[in-house]
Chain A
Amino acid sequence: MFGLKSDPSTELPERYFSLEDYEGGVARWCPGCGDLGVLTAVQRICRAEQLPPEKVVCVSGIGCSSRFPHYVGTYGFHGLHGRPLPVACGIKSRRPDLTVWVATGDGDCCSIGAGHWIHALRYNMDMVVMLFDNSVYGLTKKQTSPTTPQGMSTNTHPSGAWLPPLDPLTAMLGMTNVSFLAQTVDWNPAHLHATLAAAYRHKGLGFVRILQRCPTYSAGVFEDLQRDPSRLLMLTGPRGIQVEPAIANMFPNKREHDPSDLGTARAICEAHDPVPIGLLFQDESRPCYDAFTNHGLGMPTADKVAALEKELDRFTV
């Protein structure tokens, strides 16, 4: 009789993934580089979610931080400078079943990749984008990046960066169709982990700017934030990033914030001091372009070839 025998779903394969399953090559970042903590956080989320490694893709551009895919035991795409987002959107277009993590630097994303940045945010495809913001071009050994603080001496501006830095947060709060925007710091692993996990759970593009220490080329830019946590403003609230009370207590400066309130989010970011951490903005109702680009996924290869040929036939002379 139907239903007497076992439910087929209980017979599904059981595979358990440990942290090692998400380990790739040995990380070759400088000692003390903030990127290492982000790597661990992502691996821990993959383990917590038990994502099969073959169902995860890490995508990056060029830079120290963009070495990320090499160090994760999943699929990866180490792309061109500034171009991780188009690659990631391409993957998501045709493989909605994959989890996509994007690693990009402040140079990679906000400088050469700025054009893609705007549009990927608008496309709002389901992925996590991690902006490793160390305020400098690390891989090429200290050039001014868009987020370099004014006055910081670099190889391109030895007497100090001339312009005030670009603020990626206020920039993104003005971009069309942004759906998730958070900020965290690499030196608080618990907050970093909770923020990335929230971005992972978000349906749409979860953008996390990570203030990332580069002890080699921008040592000290975040020194006072790290030493004096009251310089940071922790955003709290029922819809925000949730951490243990012991972790929350490390930040004396808190403010309840409703992430649906775009105006207040802007005001908080524009103040610049204190530096906000937590969830600034979230709206899951915003349209995701992957819903459109995923059309016709089940189409057999032969049909696709036939359709393509038919289309191309129109141009035969």
Chain B
Amino acid sequence: MGYIEMEHSFKRYQVGESEIIANNDVSFTIEKGELVVILGASGAGKSTVLNILGGMDTNSSGKVVIDQQDISHYDRKQLTAYRRNDVGFVFQFYNLVANLTALENVELAVEIVEDASDPATVLTDVGLAHRMHNFPAQLSGGEQQRVAIARAVAKNPKILLCDEPTGALDYHTGKQVLQILQDMSRKNGTTVVIVTHNVALAPIADRVIHMHDAKVKAIETNSIPRDIAELEW
């Protein structure tokens, strides 16, 4: 039994007359502590999968078992509690609260969970000790994304979900961010799921899920995943 299991998950959208199937019979398993990359072209249904996994969206049918809990039948409140305690989310566009400093942005998330890490420490961990009291507008994109990661990580979530975390970043910065994520998985044993369309990232993952046209096309596992630093693209 995997740590995360998606079984025959469907996501359908009713747009006017026609039905759009964003996820078509998606099934996969992820083990605890793995770094997983979901690959696929634009519109393949990656974000949909991630949102369902993160409790931000519900699937139309199928099971979503996280740590032996099937969240597919959760109600709003349960989903909120799930997001609050078990999930860390990193978006392509950071989504920091502009009115709060980097530290406060992390504190905002930490405030509502027990057993959270110290925000300052986490920020130091992501290399932002010196920018802690800066507002998002005063930070670069990479720094902002690192604050976002810090905010997600500080809660000590069971799973860390990242949707195109490097999408808005340049190569080096992207690499830095990915490094942090890989470290999270390796050092802290956090299960990390990264969605990307950058095929070059596949080697760093323990598991790569290929999606195409709303379906899982293939799942491959790397017995020896590559280190980010070694990777060039």
A and B: interacting chains: no
Which B residues are closer than 8 A to A by beta carbons? none
Which A residues are closer than 8 A to B by beta carbons? none
